[in-house]
Amino acid sequence: MPRSRVGPDEIRFAEGDRVIAETLARLLPEIRRKGEDIAGLVSPSIRFIVANRLPSLFSVLRPTWPVAAICGAAPAAMGAFAALAFDPSAAIAMSVSLMATGPVYRLWKGMRQARMWWPHCGGLTFGHPGWWRPTIVLHYPIPPHLPVAEGLCYPSPSADLRLSAIAAHEYGHALLQTAYGRQAVPTWLSEGFSFWLAEQIAGQPLWRPESNACVEEPEPKGSPYDQFGTEAYYRLAARHYWEVRSLADRGLLRDALSAPLRRASELRPQLRVP
Ligand SMILES: [Zn+2]
């Protein structure tokens, strides 16, 4: 797979997507600069993959060096443990299952969700905070705009603008995901910030002003983000966009994004109706 480097970032692409990879390479420095500037955070090195099909788990995994070291040392430690233990086979079975269950389950769940989202979404960000460095997969050709969103957001006037908005949105996730170590970033903040950054890069509004009314809706039960492309998904996304937008308009966004993120929940705009 051909690849190109843009500063600390890397883009992988199929030969047929060379033009789109070059467009992305031109966009990246501005996305990085604006993202860091708006958030007041330092961006990690990011791998982009431009693909029409969801890449395999192995292409998106980029363990940080402590995780890689633990994975490398684990078989040796298990061998020593098994040799010393009373019953070597039971010891091996127990340690393997204990060590593998949690991470394997999380990976399996993540990929299952990614496969569900993939047909409709323009991009996905992979990277467990503090454990995996981010990989952003951009879905190209970008799936068509879903009519269900039309009352809430403006359709993109051009494919280039859509690409830059999607790349910036995913970049926003990657930036926040890696900034706080293993502290989870609340969904409203991560999604809202990513939409806000996408709009800054696109240079024109992506959400209709009337979608601000979604801020007044009670928070839905369950997670509409699990049902990508439904009306409930867009209503929640609009709400999160306006929550972060109101922080940015009042000059509070950097404050909200300062670690350890307690300020973010204090500053989160309150509902005007129950
Ligand atoms: Zn998102």
Ligand 1 centroid to residue 4 C-alpha, Å? 25
Q: Identify the H or E element spanning 6.
A: strand 3-6
Angle at 151 between CA 196 and CA 165, to 5 degrees: 30
Ligand 1 center to 173 CA (angstroms)? 7
What total of structural domains would you count in the chain?
Answer: 1
Token pair recorded at residue 171: 């970049």
Q: Which of 129, 135, 134 is nearest to 179 (CA)?
A: 129
Q: Is residue 190 part of a domain?
A: yes
The per-residue pLDDT for 272 is: 60
Distance 85 CA to ligand 1 centre (A): 47
Identify whether 90 is part of a domain.
no
Indicate the pTM of the whole model: 0.88
Distances (CA, A) of 161 to 46, 174, 190: 21, 20, 21
Distance separating alpha carbons of residues 186 and 152, to the nearest angstrom: 23
- Ligand 1 centroid to Cα of residue 170, in Å, is 6
How far is residue 198's CA from residue 169's CA, in Å, rounded to a whole number? 5
H helix runs in 146-230, sequence order: 159-179, 187-202
Question: Residue 191 Cα, ligand 1 centroid: separation in angstroms?
Answer: 5
- CA of 18 from ligand 1 middle (Å) equals 25
Closest by CA position to 82, among listed 72, 74, 90, 73: 90
* Ligand 1: centre distance to CA 92 (Å): 40
Q: Which residues contact 85 (CB under 8 A, 6 or more apart)?
A: 91
Task: Give the distance (Å) from ligand 1 centre to CA of residue 184.
Answer: 15
**Cβ atoms within 10 Å of 197's Cβ, excluding its own:** 26
Asked whether residue 173 is assigned to any structural domain, the reply reads yes
Structural domain contains residue 62: no
- Residue 3 included in any domain: no
Distance (Å) from CA 230 to ligand 1 centroid: 14
Best CA proximity match to 58, nearest among 20, 111, 10, 120: 111
Look at residue 107 in the predicted model and tell me its pLDDT.
81
Report the amino acid identity of residue 32: R
Residue 171 resides in a domain: yes
Q: How far apart are CA 248 and CA 140, in angstroms?
A: 31
* Ligand 1 center–CA 88 separation, angstroms: 46
Q: Which residue has the tokens 């369950």?
A: 222
* Structural domain span for residue 256: 23-40+144-267
| Mean pLDDT, each 10-residue run in order, the chain (274 residues) | 93 95 96 96 94 89 75 69 69 71 79 90 86 91 86 88 95 92 87 96 94 89 82 92 95 91 88 54
pLDDT at 274: 43
For residue 148, the CA-to-ligand 1 centroid distance in Å is 17
Q: Is residue 163 part of a domain?
A: yes
Is 198 part of any domain? yes
Helix (H) / strand (E) containing 125 = strand 123-126
